[in-house]
Amino acid sequence: MMKKPIIGITPDYSYEKTRFKISEDYTNALLKAGGVPVLLFPGEDFPDFVDGILFTGGGDIDPLRFGEEPIRQNGQISPLRDEYELSLCKEAMKRNLPLFGVCRGMQIMNIAAGGGIYQDIEVQTGTTLKHSQQAPRPYATHSITIIPGSQLEKLWRTSKIAVNSLHHQAVSFLGKGFHACARSADGLTEAMEMPEKDFVLGVQWHPESMHTKEQEALFSHFVQAASRYHKRRTAP
């Protein structure tokens, strides 16, 4: 009997409370999909035992990490988390691990691949679309269009869907190897993937909080890809 794949999760960190934290929505979504979630902490060596990594949401990323000076609207940053997640992601990409990035996690993956982000969508793009909702977290507040031929379209078999939205930053240009696979009505990249990889996906919304069949399918396919990686990793 094959063991369940181990999924590493990067938690948020509070400097004020000197405390790591994680929403149970992430762990519950992975458990339901058949994975075994474990937390990854800064200062550790690369976790050779994991079969996939989930980069979670959280605060803003230090603009100096992607070659920019901070604008006034850039929010609270976590240097400890930035350094660890970027190095972790770069090494994971070299090893072809299945990767799933949510909100900030998508932005970390993009920066690790050489891409950039908008420090503040409204200021830097002039969009009038509301990306930071004032509605219950699980509730979908704007639609996205799925790009034809993408892995995401093949998974969902739809061209349009509504998602929740809890961010003020977004991908400005894609890193090496990434392709946009969903966009919002104002043209911003809402999801990105590496088509040549088994599973490397970043989404700007929070699927772990939505509890719909489409969002649960993202975690199921992520865990399935991690299972395939586990089989390769442990093969004699």
Nearest Cα residue to 225 out of 119, 107, 98: 98
Catalytic residues: 103, 206, 208
pLDDT higher than threshold 70 for residue 102: yes
What CATH number is given to the structural domain containing 139? Answer: 3.40.50.880
**Quick one: average pLDDT of 64-85?**
93
Measure the CA–CA gap between 227 and 6, rounded to whole angstroms.
8
pLDDT higher than threshold 60 for residue 174: yes
pLDDT higher than threshold 60 for residue 42: yes
pLDDT higher than threshold 90 for residue 80: yes
Which residues have C-beta within 8 Å of that of residue 61, sequence separation ≥ 6? 77, 82, 104, 107, 108, 111, 117, 169
pLDDT higher than threshold 60 for residue 155: yes
Q: Rounded to two decimals, what is the model's pTM?
A: 0.96
- pLDDT confidence of residue 153: 97
**138: in domain:** yes
Domain that holds residue 48: 6-233
**Quick one: average pLDDT of 65-87?**
93
pLDDT higher than threshold 70 for residue 2: no
**Quick one: average pLDDT of 109-138?**
96
Measure the CA–CA gap between 42 and 10, rounded to whole angstroms.
9
**59: in domain:** yes
DSSP secondary structure, 132-146, as one string: B--S-TTS--EEEEE
**192: in domain:** yes
- pLDDT confidence of residue 75: 85
C-alpha dihedral (68, 190, 58, 78), degrees to nearest 10: -20
**133: in domain:** yes
**165: in domain:** yes
**1: in domain:** no
Q: Is 192 left (phi over 0), alpha (psi -120 to 50) or beta?
A: beta
**Quick one: average pLDDT of 202-225?**
98
**168: in domain:** yes
Contact 74, 64 (CB under 8 A): no
**What is the count of structural domains for the chain?**
1
**47: in domain:** yes
